[in-house]
Structure 1
């Protein structure tokens, strides 16, 4: 029997209106993964008037998305576009760098790709 690990884990820190979200994506993400994570993000950001969020996405173990999950990811980004100040994506694949560039089209804040986690965190802290 083959056991395939996939999913999203989330950490949320809050200081007033400011949030720091840390997401780790593993394997191939599914619609069910987003059914779990989306309400968490919606709830955290929905409790604050005009929230500001900086996000670190660890995509170093991300293999991709199922089609419906990719759509879920796009919807989540668009719904919270104005709340995302900076999104740093830490990964190790060229397609992840391209996805970061595409993300800039849909997010009002900045999206940057890094191959080094420390550099990504330093940019978020600027």
Structure 2
């Protein structure tokens, strides 16, 4: 079921465990207020989920969005099994290393040209 809000797209793999989020531009607190309840609703019906986050023309987070990200990470530390981050810039790869201590998920960064590899990795048993 697809969702869209400004520069965010959220899709759920039908009958599966992979949730894909596409972020464009800069994430704001209001964006988290939109998509976090959608992700949490999906989490209610599964033990764990896997996430693929695609960053397109990504410009970072507002301070409010960073706070919301921290709260989400703490609240769902053990609910995400695997997290693939797909981006276009070197600093986004560094971000994957920064996120790792704040989640129980296995985290891996992929360049945008490796999107098919990211999809395969996040989906594999």
Q: TM-score range by the shorter chain?
A: 0.7 to 0.9
Alignment correspondent of 2:31:
33
Q: Which runs of 5+ in 1 are unaligned?
A: none
C-alpha contact (below 8 Å) 1:31/1:72 kept by paired residues: yes
Higher Cα Rg: structure 1 or 2?
1
Alignment correspondent of 1:124:
122
C-alpha contact (below 8 Å) 1:11/1:21 kept by paired residues: yes
- Give the secondary-structure state (helix, strand or coil) at the position aligned to 1:11: strand
RMSD between superposed Cα atoms in Å = 1.8
Equivalent of 1:72 in 64, 68, 71: 68
1:6 Cα deviation from its structure 2 partner: 5.1
C-alpha contact (below 8 Å) 2:18/2:122 kept by paired residues: no
1:88 matched to 2:89? The reply is no
1:14 Cα deviation from its structure 2 partner: 5.1
**CA–CA distance in structure 1, aligned partners of residues 123 and 88 of structure 2:** 21
TM-score (norm 2): 0.85
Q: Runs of 4 or more off by more than 6 Å in structure 1? A: none
Q: Residues 34 and 54 (structure 1 numbering): CA distance in 2 closer, same or farther, change over 3 Å?
A: same
Alignment correspondent of 2:10:
10
C-alpha contact (below 8 Å) 2:25/2:56 kept by paired residues: no
Q: How many residues end up aligned between the 2 structures?
A: 118
- Give the secondary-structure state (helix, strand or coil) at the position aligned to 1:54: strand
TM-score (norm 1): 0.84
1:77 Cα deviation from its structure 2 partner: 2.1
